[in-house]
Amino acid sequence: MVFSAIAPYLPIIPRRTRLVRLQSQLKGDAVLRDQINDALKGAMKARDERRVSTLRLVNAALKNADIEARGQGKEALGDEAILGLLQKMIKQRQESIVLYEKGGRADLAQQEREEVEIIASYLPKQMSEAEAKAAIEAAIKDTGAAGMKDMGKVMAALKERHAGQLDIATASGMVKGLLAK
C-alpha cells in the first residue's frame, strides 16, 4: 500500500505507463512493426551490423512518425502507413545512390543499395508493368473515369486496393496516359 501511495511521485512510473499505453495501441494493427522489431533482434543476435543499423533507422523513422501523428491527435501508424514510410525511405536511398555515384563514392552507393535491399524485404511484392496496367484499367473502369478530371478518383482507388504493391509515381504517369486518350 505504501508503494501505491508514492507511485505517482516516482519519475519512472509515468514514463512506463506511457510506454505500456503506446504498446497496447500498437498491438492491434501493426504486424509489420512487430516483424521489423523481431528482425532487429535476430540481426543483433547474428551480429549483422548492416541489418541492425538499417532496422534501427527504420524504427527511428517509425517512432518519429508516431510522435508526429500523436501531435496531430491521430493514433500510431498502421501497416498501410508503415508501408508508405518504407517506400519513402527506399526512394530517399535511391536518390542518394545516384548522388553518390555522381560524386564517385561507390562505397557509399553500395551501402545505400544494401539498405534498400533490407528495407524492400518488408514490402509486398511489387506488381509487374503488365499487372500494374491491368490494375489501372480496372480502377478506371470501376470508378467510371472519363477524363483527366477523374484522375484523383482513380489514384485513390489504386492506393486503397494496391498499397505497397504499386509505385504511385509510375502509376500516375500510366493513369495520365490512359485517361488522355
Q: Over range 36-47, report the average pLDDT.
A: 93
pLDDT at 115: 94
| DSSP codes, 119-175 | HHTTSPPPPPHHHHHHHHHHHHHHHT--SGGGHHHHHHHHHHHSTTTS-HHHHHHHH
pLDDT confidence of residue 3: 45
Report which of 121, 107, 160 is spatially closest to residue 138, judged by C-alpha positions.
Answer: 160
DSSP code of 1?
A: -
Lowest mean pLDDT among 17-21, 72-76, 81-85, 174-178: 17-21
Q: How far apart are CA 138 and CA 98, in angstroms?
A: 34
- Domains annotated for the chain, with CATH where assigned, are 7-120 (1.10.1510.10), 129-179 (1.10.10)
pLDDT digits (tens, 9 = 90+) for 90-108: 999 999 999 999 999 999 9
Give the model confidence (pLDDT) of 140-170 as tens digits.
888 887 778 888 888 888 888 877 777 777 8
Handedness of CA 37, 43, 49, 50 (dihedral sign): negative
